[in-house]
A and B are shown apart, each in its own frame.
Chain A
Amino acid sequence: MTKLKLVDVNYTYSEGTPFRKDALRNINIEIEDNCITGLIGHTGCGKSTLVQLLNGLLFPTSGEVMFDGNNIKEKGYDLKTLRHKVGLVFQYPEYQLFEDTVYDDIAFGPKNMGLPKDEIDRRIKEAALFVGLEERYFEVSPFDLSGGQKRRVAIAGIMAMDPDVLILDEPAAGLDPIGREEILGGIYSYQRKRKNAVVIVSHSMEDMARYSDKLIVMNDGEVFMQGNCREVFSETDKLLSVGLDVPQITKFMRALKSKGIDVRTDIFTVDEAKAEILSKMGGCGNA
């Protein structure tokens, strides 16, 4: 079901000044529940502006943002509730922690929603489990944690609000391969259990190939491509034409094809590549 819908949305920064900039042009997208949507594009393509429109931190210069069928710009629309239902984890959220203990920091959101104590407690424990944060850290000051752990605390804080739509802006940025997998894997299993809508903003095609169901590719303030992963990834040329980075293995399959080997080029994981190549080898009886 569609949770959020953007209709003909435009957004312009600093209208009427020399710094005027069209950040978004003619955006029409739908964010559905029971789905992980990957939002991909260069820095400056409008991704971060777009996510801020999704929970009413910014309002479009023109066009409509609809949540559950209601226009959020309508007079009297309850924006506070909207922000409880559409949770946004900013980039580098580890810089936003402020409470004395990890537990209190995760509790901040649900507490402000006016939930009873035992429900808050239940949610904190559940969220901590998803992000892989052990309970022995609960009474520790968040400032004594490593960067990766702080980020888990910040993400858990939004998960504990149990939003209908969870948006994460570059949740794995700057982490090493294990850290990336733990964070993204945690978000994945959270979404599969809740069946809510999750939007992940990322630069990494490799990560999105693994974790998202649907992709929205932005370029220069516009929606450049959208569809399921296979549809988007089958058009490598189009992605490369706007300078988006495709996984190395995809470039490799293309290079192989250009050398006269008849292989598929819509491949984004090493396992797929291996299967494809082994099948070619089987064909010539060498393997």
Chain B
Amino acid sequence: MSVPFIKVEDLIFTYDDEDSIDKHYVLKNLSLEIEKGSFVCVLGHNGSGKSTFAKLLNMILSPDEGKIYIDGFDITNPDITEDDLFEIRRKVGMVFQNPDNQLVATIVEEDVAFGPENLGVEPSEIRRRVDSALETVGMSEYATHAPHRLSGGQKQRVAIAGIIAMQPECIIFDESTAMLDPQGRAEVMNTIAKLNSEQGITVIHITHNMDEAVKADRVVVINEGEIFLDGTPKEVFSNVEKLRRAGLDVPQVTELFYDLSHHGVDLPSDILCEEEGAEILSAWLKK
């Protein structure tokens, strides 16, 4: 079997709480493996530890205990060098929540070039990468525009292009859709799905939007610093009660089927999308 792209073992992360002697555990003994090329959604309510987990994966934060391997390389090794860190952050790119906090230049294409420039890439190669990254996210026509005049969804796509230009193997989206309107959200989600399916980039998408999680290959629910549920979207969302206890919603159609089954109607509990649900329920009603 191949080595997983990301392997996390017994991860512990605490914040010191000045008011108490007890440590505040954000992550406790979290272990997880993520295969290369997969599309994983990490769900959890605010404060569940999901963003901390993301920030550990490219050493923006370092764990109190536990090991993290990226592509077989132990990034938690205390002897890690600055160069190693650079390489890890190139391999594992990150797109944050607020589109206004991550654009640095005054022109879109210069912003996308910022990463590769800092990696010391040849100018002609930078040009090529910037053009191709902007094309991938569908922002080529805005190459010479000012970022502050773009919509939220467009800004996030520029931020994603900036990451792609560094040719990462994995991109972590840390609630990158949370501040966007439905249209911007759809633009970004389509871009994410495309990067995963066409370029084989491993995607870790952190969100509390259930509709987005439905699109992933795998859903991992983190609750109180631990893995609470892990499986395909269908497997995870059929646990309606458990998800509610973790402060999460399920898609409305899943909820409806769940409620109906409690009224003695014999229906499957793993329905996620409206078309599938309508198909099954209409067949049932016509019986």
Contacts and interface: CB of A to CB of B under 8 A. Distances in A.
Interface in A41-57: 42-44
Given A177-B249, A178-B247, A249-B253, A270 B259 contact: yes
Contact of B282 (A148, A259, A270): A259
Interface string A171-183: 0011111110000
Given A148-B46, A281-B265, A261 B282 contact: yes
A146 B47 contact: yes
Contacts of B265: 281, 286-287
**Most chain B beta carbons < 10 A, residue from A248, A258, A278:** A248
A273 interface: yes
Interface in B65-92: none
Interface string A222-266: 000000000000000000000111011101100110111100000
A252 B46 contact: no
A281 B285 contact: yes
A44 B151 contact: yes
A63 interface: no
B256 interface: yes
Interface in B142-180: 151-153, 175, 178-180
A42 B153 CA distance: 12
**Most chain B beta carbons < 10 A, residue from A146, A244, A261, A284:** A261
B270 interface: no
B61 interface: no
Contact of B181 (A203, A255, A277, A281): A203
Given A42-B183, A287-B263, A274 B256 contact: yes
A206 B184 CA distance: 18
A111 interface: no
A284 B286 CA distance: 9
B278 A179 contact: no
Interface in A156-178: 173-178
B46 A147 contact: yes
B248 interface: yes
**Most chain A beta carbons < 10 A, residue from B151, B248, B285:** B285
Contacts of A249: 252-253, 256
B255 interface: yes
A259 B184 CA distance: 31
Interface residues of A, number: 40
Interface string B115-132: 000000000000000000
B158 to A, nearest CB: 16
Contacts of A146: 46-47
B205 interface: no
B175 to A, nearest CB: 7
Interface string B28-52: 0000000000000000011100000
B247 A177 contact: yes
Contact of A256 (B180, B248, B259, B278): B278
Contacts of B179: 92, 173-174
A280 B285 contact: yes
A43 B181 contact: yes
Given A249-B253, A256-B281, A286-B287, A177 B248 contact: yes
B102 interface: no
Contact of B46 (A175, A243, A259, A277): A175
A243 to B, nearest CB: 7
Contact of A248 (B253, B259, B264, B281): B253
A43 B184 CA distance: 9
Contact of A284 (B45, B248, B282, B285): B285
B275 A274 contact: no
A31 B101 CA distance: 35
A31 B261 CA distance: 43
Contact of A203 (B97, B182, B249, B278): B182
Given A43-B151, A176-B45, A259 B278 contact: yes
Contacts of A252: 252-253, 256, 274, 277-278
Nearest to A148: B46
Interface string A210-227: 000000000000000000
A56 B151 CA distance: 25
A259 B286 CA distance: 10
Contacts of A274: 256, 259-260, 263
Interface of A: 42-44, 92, 146-148, 173-179, 203, 206, 243-245, 247-249, 251-252, 255-256, 258-261, 270, 273-274, 277-278, 280-281, 284, 286-287
Which 5 A-B pairs rank lowest in CB-CB distance, beginning with the nearest?
A255-B278, A259-B282, A252-B274, A245-B182, A249-B252
